Amino acid sequence: MDEGKIKEWINTFRHVDVVVQLFSTVAIDATFFNKPIVNFNFDPGEKKLQDKIIKELNEEWVHFKPIYDSGAMFNAQTQDEIVEGVKWCLQNPNQQQKEREWIKHFVTQYPDGECGKRMANTIIDFIK
């Protein structure tokens, strides 16, 4: 992504009211702007062909399960719950703030913008 695309991506999260997503790292991006998250836990397709794998990705796969279980997202099980979740998030935008903050720290450990410096210092220390 070039600089313009990165700015567009960041501004998208800065200006949305709710992030609606399907087991994606955009849930993590949303936490950096303290935005409510509605997560699909079902296949929205007519035939529901991917329903089982979507539930497994959310509920069992080690890389997303902690985020799914964190309480930071409205985990919708149906199309109607997506609508309900968006409405709820719009009415209660700060309700899951503590849980979103937990995701941010769980995934990044140090969300302070200094990770590059820490990495460089670690490499320099290792070389010495």
SS3 annotation, the chain? CCHHHHHHHHHHHHHCCCEEECCCCHHHHHHHCCCCEEEECCCCCCCCCCHHHHHHHHHCCCCCHHHHHCCCEEEECCHHHHHHHHHHHHHCCCCCHHHHHHHHHHHHCCCCCCHHHHHHHHHHHHHC
Q: How confident is the model at residue 110, as a pLDDT? A: 83
Contact between 44 and 26 under an 8 Å Cβ cutoff? The reply is: no
> What is the spatial distance between Cα 118 and Cα 19, in angstroms, rounded to a whole number?
31
Q: How confident is the model at residue 53, as a pLDDT? A: 95
Low-confidence residues in the chain, pLDDT < 50: none
Strand partners, 74: 38
Q: How confident is the model at residue 112, as a pLDDT? A: 85
> What is the spatial distance between Cα 20 and Cα 41, in angstroms, rounded to a whole number?
11
Q: How confident is the model at residue 33, as a pLDDT? A: 95
Identity of the residue numbered 45: G
75-106 pLDDT, tens digit per residue, is: 999 999 999 999 999 999 999 999 999 999 99
Q: Tell me the domain boundaries of the chain.
A: 3-127
Q: What's the predicted TM-score (pTM) here? A: 0.85
